[in-house]
Chain A
Amino acid sequence: MAAVKSLVRSIARAALARLGGGAGASRAVPYMARWAGARQRALLRGRGLVRGAGIVWPQHGRAWVMDRDYALPGRGEVLIETAVSAVSAGTERAYFLGLPNAVTDFPTLPGYSLAGTVVEIGRGVSAVRPGDRVALAAPHASLAVGSAVEVYAVPAGVSMEEAAFVSLALIALQALQKVTIIPGNPIAILGHGIIGQLLAQFLCAFGAYPVTSVSRSGRRATEALQRTMQRVILVDRDGVDALDHVDAAVTFDATGHPDGVAFASRCTRPGGRVVLVGSTRGVTEAMDFGALADRRIALVGAHINSLTREDRPVEARRFFRLLKEKRIAVAPLITHRVHPLEAEWFYRRLAGRDDASIAAVFTWDALPSVQRMRRVSFLAPPDLGPLRRAALVEVPLADRVRMNAGTAAG
């Protein structure tokens, strides 16, 4: 064991030396720590290592795809080869840009919802077997390791692409748990992002009526949304006063914007409820709590963390059943199917002012199989390539002149 540790240290030193020391080397420390951590876990388990590729944000506004090592699964764990991972557009955009209330340490491994195939199981795992199709909460990568009790079996008839949205579906479904939905009582949903769209579909599937969907603009007002909602209000088109006539018994605020709650309360009838779905980011001065009290409107928090570990598989099964019975459809909401190597392109688009994406997926099955998963030895050095290859190759001026010889303009 000591000899292996010593060898690992030597490899780490050699990898750092290739960066030339200084700032480059210090930036490499977190990547080295992760690389060493995988080896430590593998040693402790007496198991080997596999290498896949995963998305890393080294800083705000940048996204790299780097090799990532995993110890083969330990007791109670499973190793999954990812087919598709789903982007939580609002959350990931907020962290990518470092918006208020979306603070993270870098490097960050984004993503928390994917589907794939079990390739290895650890000791004591009996619920799933290699070859099973599963979904779980894990970062965007070609491989994922998770606890066997936190992976959800994907039934036949449900595509990997749709199953990959399981974590996002749980966010929407747990919000529905917080209130009683009575057909005939008006419902409003604020926000046309993926959570708002999933909520709309779930509510329709559960017989809610009438449902009004509200958003600032129509750029995410999908054809399906227009068809299934009893009413669609676009504030830019219909004016903000249109909200006062919604008269919803329950309003779901899925905007993720701090000012959303003020608009949500205007949609809600006296004595009604406003459910704050997901992770609203930032602070607002737009809310008049006195008016809220006068109208006896209750604010209900609905974060995924409030969903118990026991309830999660139940809700996941409900999501898959609705998909299988074609009572909901996620695929029509997918606006971007992104090759993982184009992650930075995608995130920069997502960060743009004019972004109109609703749902996006990374298609890990588009990577060559050797890049998705391969066995590696303890001696395989870490992938620090992106830290080295940022610069344009410059050649001396005199050489550039020489290289142009023969192409002189007349």
Chain B
Amino acid sequence: MLVPVFGNAIAAEELMNPVAPAFKKSLADAALNSATRAGASYCDVRIGRYLNQFITTRNLNVENIVNTESSGVGVRVIANGAYGFASTNDMSPDGVANAARQAVAIARANARLQTEALQMAPVQGVGEVSWATPYTRDWRTVPIKEKADMLIAANKAGLDAGASFMESRLFQVNQQKYFASTDGSYIDQDIHRLWAPLTATAVDKATNKFRTRDSLAAPVGMGFEYFDARPEHKVQAAGGVTTLYTRSYDLIGDARAAGRQAREKLGAKSVEPGKYDLVLSPEHLFLTIHESVGHPTELDRVLGYEANYAGTSFASLDKWRTKKFKFGSERVNFIADKTTPGSLGAVGYDDEGVPAKRWDIIKDGILVNYQATRDQAHIIGEKESHGCSYADSWNSVQFQRMPNVSLAAGKKRLTPDEMVKDVKKGIYILGRGSYSIDQQRYNFQFGGQLYFEIRNGKITGPLEDVAYQSNTQEFWNACSAICDERDWRMGGSFFDGKGQPSQVSAVSHGSSTTRFNGVNVINTARKIG
């Protein structure tokens, strides 16, 4: 199989040689000077070297191993009050200067359609600085054999435990990003991310049914030490129904559980539709947070800039302006941040050179803020950007992307087992499943990976065919209990899509196990009339 890869494949030893900052600075200056001479009132330059390694396996076979590198320069300008962007992989002073001139020409062509000039929130130039993801074991130095052996061992464990088929993959990302702007910043960043998704499939040919169970682990912004599978990083789910993971992951152990649980799902009881109290683990809730809180509080959606693709938002400015819009119950607090160690969104600076920070989005249940970039901050009365600008490649233009958006832990001591004890008729849900949500991020439906029935304070057995339906405001106002910080951990989305041309970004969402009262549950296997 000839697999097209987006970047240059390179030998492992070459991955370790970063481009010298002095070279990047000289290249950036060539673009900044060219843009300024061509009439730009503002210019930023992003010099990127994006390294990836992807390993895909199926059962006991390694299907593919690919090392990629992609390098180039993206230049964004403001000229005549409008944006222009051009990119090139010609990393010579002439090449980047030409890209800068093209960007200015594009800005001028667009300026005649601009109703009002762009207004950028000020950012203080920081001079020459650097930032790197903290890690103790660099994925680039881990032998390919060790990684392949780990994935195959995981697949074997799943097959031995009852799966008919196993698939596992390893995504490893290193973004070497250099940002420079006419504001006087030269920022060198070295960002690392990992994700090891797996799927166990169990088939019953006699009944023509099949069930899958995906990984319960999170993608992370850290090094290969994530796969150390340290005993102190394993936690038991409520009722001991499965093992969950915090700061390191036992891929093989999770695969073994996945194989067994996929087989068990074939015989699980089909859910009776109705109202249930839901107990949602962080491994599940992160996706509901992402879709129903993260996306609707993106300011570009709120303003209509994503109306033609990703959608708009029910969380409109008029609701926010009342300072009383009850997004959730009083125990619901959402914090946006780009700083949590180990998270996918953690950086030193965003792609507009704004330092990473934390801020409140929902405070005591009230919508208090959004996620903004430099050109949006003035719209919500902010004096500076939230630092939410991101581009997925040197040849993509940066725009507003979601920071980590997390549900704060409960303030009273409460464990998942204690939470279950108070539930008379409920369902405990773990893992991310299929979902659907409307273009305003309001009406939705979510499934999961594992479902367990709760009766009179006890987990009585597995369920299948479960999905819950609600709308965002009703759902978060039904939040009745949140476990304390001992249970708080992050899940995440490695390939969150948005924008035209479409770009991906990686973002984490933390929470503790959380309870929602009286949520409508449907049976997804039921046929309508």
A, B: real partners? no
List A residues at the B interface (Cβ < 8 Å).
Answer: none
